Amino acid sequence: MARRATITGWGKCVPPISLSNADLERFMETSDEWIVERTGIRNRQLSHVENTDLAELAALRALACAGLEASELDLVVVATCTPELLCPSVAAMVQDRIGATNAAAFDLNAACSGFVYGTSVVAGMVESGFAERVLLVGAEKLHYAMDYRDRGTAILFGDGAGAAVFEPSSDGDGVLAVDLGADGGKGGTMLIRSMGSRGEPSFTNDPAVFGLHFEGQAVFKIAVQGISASAARVVERAGLATDDIDLVVPHQANARIIDSATRRLGIDSSRVFVNIDNLGNTAAASIPMAISDALDAGRVKAGDHVILTAFGGGVTWGSIALRWGSRTDPVGVHEGELPDTDQNCFELLRDNLDFYAPLHIDKPPVV
């Protein structure tokens, strides 16, 4: 059979500081009921460490799961739109920290579609024989860009990381088909302007420019149309029918988007994995974190046909069809954890609240 790239290891890193809907009620005019009804989110996690730290721990857990040493890797790829630094890349820093001394490394940015785009890249590397073992990480620290008095954005996003190890298979398992797309003309619907080279160097940042710009209604329409059409195309390219799909693992953007898109695809909710309620939208980290949770929950079995599908800023979208391999249980477990912290969400977000305060001078102070 043809050589394919199959997932042999998986892992995630969930930061320890929780931000619940009740907590958000202290920042803005909202309620738990309002947020859950519109997004399906009840809680999200915030990181007290850097994006690279999240990526490193998820990577080590995926390697242990696969039973591999970092020195056996040929390539490390990190999908992120919130890198700790632009140079060096997060992937290069992770490569150094985990001891992947024989691996090349680079970052990839397709926003929330990053893990799907990354999978297409590493699958091609493995299928071609250019790489044997590849580590793909999705990692985000999104909270730094949030104005926590803006309920249109801050209620949605959380921090986290997920990782997967890909190895070659000739047993019919692995990535069967890929569909990728983009529409740069709609890129203005989701913007993070604070990390680019636009404008002159400045010692100060403008809170009106710095944070995430997000057009929720426009994004909803793009997302539903984009991922349902993309998933349908990848199912067809894989030579499958909708009834052949055992599980859809979508980008965890919004429960209403997931429901609308999968209904269009003709997939019953019982075949869709959703974990957005406790993690929120973690962008490029959401699919690998969901894969890990789905395996832990016994939702993935050997030979299952699984669809990964996502949309993101850019605007980008993409889907992967794969046949799951024989491994559904970890070979080993990495025992490390993130550093402890005694901060709560209010202490962690104090700098954010102070920075964006000039935009909300007509509103009461945060309790």
Residue 237 and residue 231: Cα distance in Å, rounded? Answer: 10
User: Which of 222-226, 238-242, 309-313 is modeled with the greatest confidence?
Assistant: 238-242
Examine residue 166 and state whether it is found in any structural domain, yes or no.
yes
Residue 145 and residue 54: Cα distance in Å, rounded? Answer: 17
> Could you read off the pLDDT of 47-100 as tens digits, one per residue?
999 999 999 999 999 999 999 999 999 999 999 999 998 889 999 999 999 999
Q: What is the pLDDT of residue 202?
A: 60
Q: How many distinct structural domains can be found in the chain?
A: 1
Dig out the tokens for 46 from the structure. Answer: 């915030």
pLDDT band at 1 (very low <50, low <70, confident <90, very high): confident
CATH of the domain at 338: 3.40.47.10
Examine residue 165 and state whether it is found in any structural domain, yes or no.
yes
Check 281, 305, 352, 360 and give the catalytic one: 281
Residue 271 and residue 277: Cα distance in Å, rounded? Answer: 17
- What does the DSSP assignment read for 4-28? EEEEEEEEEE--SEEEEHHHHTTTS
Q: What is the pLDDT of residue 224?
A: 74
> Could you read off the pLDDT of 10-30 as tens digits, one per residue?
999 999 999 999 999 998 889
Tell which residue, 217, 238, 235, has the closest CA to residue 227: 235
pLDDT over 70 for what percent of the chain?
Answer: 90
Lowest mean pLDDT across 86-90, 215-219, 285-289, 358-362: 215-219
For residues 297 and 270, the answer to whether their CB atoms sit within 8 Å is no
pTM, two decimals, is 0.93
Active site residue 87: no
Dig out the tokens for 296 from the structure. Answer: 């832990």
pLDDT at 203 over 60: no
Active site residue 112: yes
**Is the Cα torsion angle 146, 147, 148, 151 positive or negative in sign?**
negative
Examine residue 366 and state whether it is found in any structural domain, yes or no.
no
Q: Which residue has the tokens 């009834």?
A: 243
**Is the pLDDT higher at 302 or at 186?**
302
pLDDT at 163 over 60: yes
pLDDT at 284 over 60: yes
Phi and psi of 276, rounded to 5°? -65, -20
Query: Hey, which residues does 17 pair with through a beta bridge?
Result: 46
CA dist 325 to 4, 11, 149, 304, Å? 11, 16, 45, 8
pLDDT at 199 over 70: no
> Could you read off the pLDDT of 299-319 as tens digits, one per residue?
999 999 999 999 888 789 999
Query: Hey, which residues does 179 pair with through a beta bridge?
Result: 319
Examine residue 236 and state whether it is found in any structural domain, yes or no.
yes
Q: What is the pLDDT of residue 197?
A: 66
Q: What is the mean pLDDT of the chain?
A: 91
Check 48, 143, 251, 305 and give the catalytic one: 251
Active site residue 254: no
What angle is formed at CA 90 by the lines to CA 350 and CA 137, rounded to 5 degrees? 100
Query: Hey, which residues does 155 pair with through a beta bridge?
Result: none
Q: What is the pLDDT of residue 185?
A: 83
Examine residue 365 and state whether it is found in any structural domain, yes or no.
no
pLDDT at 360 over 90: no
Mean pLDDT of 262-273: 91
Examine residue 340 and state whether it is found in any structural domain, yes or no.
yes
Domain range holding 267? 4-360
Mean pLDDT of 149-157: 89
Examine residue 177 and state whether it is found in any structural domain, yes or no.
yes
Check 81, 112, 345, 352 and give the catalytic one: 112
